[in-house]
Each structure stands twice: as C-alpha cells, then as structure tokens.
C-alpha cells in the first residue's frame, strides 16, 4: 500500500478516519505514527513517510476529524466535534495506535506530532503513556500563559455573539496573520511556514489546507495547550520515556523555538531523563518542508533508531 492510498478506519467515536500507511523497506525497526498540524492533512507527510520507509520504519497517519478526508458526524471542516472534541481526537489517535499495534505486535511505537499534532501527541501520552515507546513533539507551543487565557476569553465572547461552528474572526489575527508579519520581507502571508517558496505555494494551492478553524476548534486547541502544560499530569508519565523535542529558530509560532526550550526545561525539572532537543537555525515552522529538511529528517531517523535500539536492549535484559 502506497502512502498516497487511503484506507477508511472506523473509530469508536463514530468517525470514519482517512488513514495512510506505507511499509518499511526491509525488516522494520519500529512504527512511526504521525499526527499532523492544524489546517492541513496527512498526505502532506508523504515525503517524510517515504524517507522513513527507506530507514526501515513503518508509517501510519490519519486525517484528524475536521480535516482532510476524515468524516465524522458534527465535524465538518474546521471543527473537531459538537462537544468533547479533545476526547474524540485522542480516541481517534488511539484507534490508529491500536490498529498499528495489532498489525505489528512486536514493534515499538513512536508517536510523532507536528504543531497541533504535537499538542495532540503530548495529550495522548498523558493519557496513554503505556501505549507508546517514544514521542516526538515538534513545533508545539505549551507556553501561551496569560495570552492563552486572554485568547480563551476572546473565544468565549465569540461563541456568545457568533456561535461555535463559524470561523473565529479574532484568533487568526493573533496567530497566523501575526506570525506572517513576523517574517522579514514575506512573499506571501504564509511564508512563516517555510523558506522554500515551492512548499509555501503548494500549501496555498492545496484545497484541504490553509482554512481558518472555527471558534469550537480553537477552544479545543487551547484545552490541549493547557492540559499539556499541566505538570501534575506530566508527572504521571514514566521519567525514562524518550522524547524528541524539535523547533525552528525562526518559527514565530513557538517564539523562535523558546517554547520548545521551555518544554524541555519543564520536563527536566520534573526528572525526565531521556529528552533530546534540537532547535534548527534559520528554520521556520514546518521543518519537514524547509530547505534543510534532509538534515532534519536524517536527525529524526537517527534518534528514532537509537531510541528503539536502547529500549530493545533494556527489555531483553
């Protein structure tokens, strides 16, 4: 099965998940389960999947509810669910995790998440740490603090006056549009994603990418942020679980990587002993679509292979 092919998977939430899978070339080291970002979809990770296959990793990815080709009642494009959106998101991730684990019962599971996908991946680890052997949290910002609380207040007002199932009028101004203004001499409003003009143009031309989330989806996103920032929940995760934290030094969505470093410090203060962090110079938000993507992908494969090898040896002992 090629990564471009779509398999429909029934989730316990009632969603019909659009899932993609591609097999490792040769005997697989592990499974990498990809959780994509907001206003995009899993097919944008096809190049990364092919690269990982060549490095002997199976790859699974699905379109989150409200995204791409996934269909779910109450979850049109831009909304996770009418209610309990975060719970449904995590249950959908769990459905793919369970399927992949059933198909490859002897392989370790590495959960990879970019941006919103990183928020989702961290929240999944908080709930199901026993179901992953390592987690990669890329370009995710859990450090919104007071500004995040203000944004939640704005969203409450928008819900009162506009409703939940319409695009937010204010949040794009504080996020996507502000991030675009933080790029020197931008060619487009989306140049904050990457320095590669071809990748930015492909994103802008993609009918399944670049839309504005609803008020409801933004509210769920901030729930993911503040739950992931909860130290008491993170303290319940095994301290030796390997984490790969990655950011870009020119990514406005993470304050040029500062939010990634803050997550690293928080985890180490809590006693996490297996945290690997890398902030790539010159890199914007989408490292996998950046001009230095070959280095970034290679570094991830090296980390993943080394992590699997170390944990396998521990289990054998």
The per-residue pLDDT for range 228-269, each reduced to its tens digit, is: 999 999 999 999 999 999 999 999 999 999 999 999 999 999
- Distance linking the first and last C-alpha atoms of the chain: 36
| pLDDT higher than 80, residue 49 | yes
| pLDDT higher than 50, residue 313 | no
Domain count, the chain: 1
SS3 60: strand
- Asked if residue 210 is part of any domain, the answer here is yes
| pLDDT higher than 50, residue 317 | no
Record the tokens describing residue 105, joined without a space: 């019962």
Query: Residue 228 has what pLDDT?
Result: 97
Query: Residue 71 has what pLDDT?
Result: 98
Beta strand 243-248 pairing with 275-280: parallel
- Asked if residue 280 is part of any domain, the answer here is yes
Interatomic CA distance for residues 33 and 115, integer angstroms = 15
DSSP 8-state code for residue 82: S
SS (H, E, C) 147-161: HHHHHHHHHHHHHHH
The closest alpha carbon to 250, from 164, 139, 143, 163, belongs to 139
Range of the domain at 187: 7-316
| pLDDT higher than 70, residue 315 | no
- Asked if residue 1 is part of any domain, the answer here is no
Record the tokens describing residue 246, joined without a space: 């990655």
Query: Residue 309 has what pLDDT?
Result: 76
Q: What is the pLDDT of residues 185-224, one digit of tens each?
A: 999 999 999 999 999 999 999 999 999 999 999 999 999 9
SS3 193: coil
- Asked if residue 242 is part of any domain, the answer here is yes
Neighbouring CB atoms inside 10 A of 161's CB total 9
| pLDDT higher than 90, residue 302 | yes
User: Are the C-beta atoms of residues 245 and 276 closer than 8 Å to each other?
Assistant: yes
Q: What is the pLDDT of residues 96-153, one digit of tens each?
A: 999 999 999 999 999 999 999 999 999 999 999 999 999 999 999 999 888 899 999 9
Interatomic CA distance for residues 301 and 292, integer angstroms = 15
- Asked if residue 2 is part of any domain, the answer here is no
| pLDDT mean over 90-98 | 98
68: left (phi over 0), alpha (psi -120 to 50) or beta: left
DSSP 8-state code for residue 74: T
- Asked if residue 165 is part of any domain, the answer here is yes
Q: What is the pLDDT of residues 159-183, one digit of tens each?
A: 999 999 999 999 999 999 999 999 9
Cβ neighbors of 174 (< 8 A, separation 6 or more) are 147, 151, 154
User: Are the C-beta atoms of residues 201 and 189 closer than 8 Å to each other?
Assistant: no
| pLDDT mean over 85-106 | 98
Query: Residue 316 has what pLDDT?
Result: 43
Bigger pLDDT: 194 vs 184: 194
Query: Residue 34 has what pLDDT?
Result: 99
- Asked if residue 257 is part of any domain, the answer here is yes
CATH number, domain with residue 188: 3.40.50.1820
| pLDDT mean over 17-46 | 98
Record the tokens describing residue 8, joined without a space: 């429909």
User: Are the C-beta atoms of residues 296 and 280 closer than 8 Å to each other?
Assistant: yes
Interatomic CA distance for residues 286 and 269, integer angstroms = 28
Q: Residue 310 — pLDDT band, cuts 50, 70, 90?
A: low
């Amino acid at each position: 099965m090629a990564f471009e092919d779509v398999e429909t998977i029934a989730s316990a939430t009632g969603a019909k998940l659009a899932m993609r899978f591609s097999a490792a070339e040769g005997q697989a080291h592990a499974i990498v389960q990809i959780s994509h970002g907001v206003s995009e979809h899993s097919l944008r990770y096809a190049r990364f999947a092919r690269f990982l296959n060549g490095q002997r990793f199976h790859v699974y990815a699905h379109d989150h509810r409200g995204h791409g080709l996934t269909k779910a009642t109450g979850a049109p494009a831009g909304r996770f669910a009418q209610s309990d959106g975060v719970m449904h998101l995590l249950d959908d991730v769990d459905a793919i995790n369970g399927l992949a684990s059933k198909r490859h019962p002897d392989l370790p599971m590495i959960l990879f998440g970019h941006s919103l996908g990183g928020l989702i991946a961290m929240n999944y680890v908080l709930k199901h740490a026993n179901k992953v052997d390592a987690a990669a949290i890329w370009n995710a910002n859990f450090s919104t603090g007071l500004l995040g609380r203000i944004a939640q207040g704005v969203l409450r007002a928008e819900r009162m006056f506009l409703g939940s199932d319409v695009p937010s009028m204010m949040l794009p101004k504080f996020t996507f549009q502000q991030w675009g203004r933080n790029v020197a001499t931008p060619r487009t409003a989306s140049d904050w994603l990457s320095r590669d003009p071809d990748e930015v143009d492909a994103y802008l031309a993609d009918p399944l990418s670049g839309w504005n989330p609803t008020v409801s989806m933004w509210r769920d996103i901030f729930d993911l942020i503040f739950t992931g920032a909860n130290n008491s929940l993170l303290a319940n995760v095994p301290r030796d679980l390997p984490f790969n934290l990655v950011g870009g030094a020119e990514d406005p969505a993470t304050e040029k990587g500062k939010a990634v470093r803050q997550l690293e410090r928080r985890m180490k203060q809590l006693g996490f002993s297996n945290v690997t962090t890398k902030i790539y110079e010159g890199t914007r938000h989408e490292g996998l679509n950046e001009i230095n993507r070959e280095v970034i992908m290679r570094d991830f494969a090296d980390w993943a292979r080394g992590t699997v090898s170390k944990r396998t040896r521990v289990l054998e002992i």
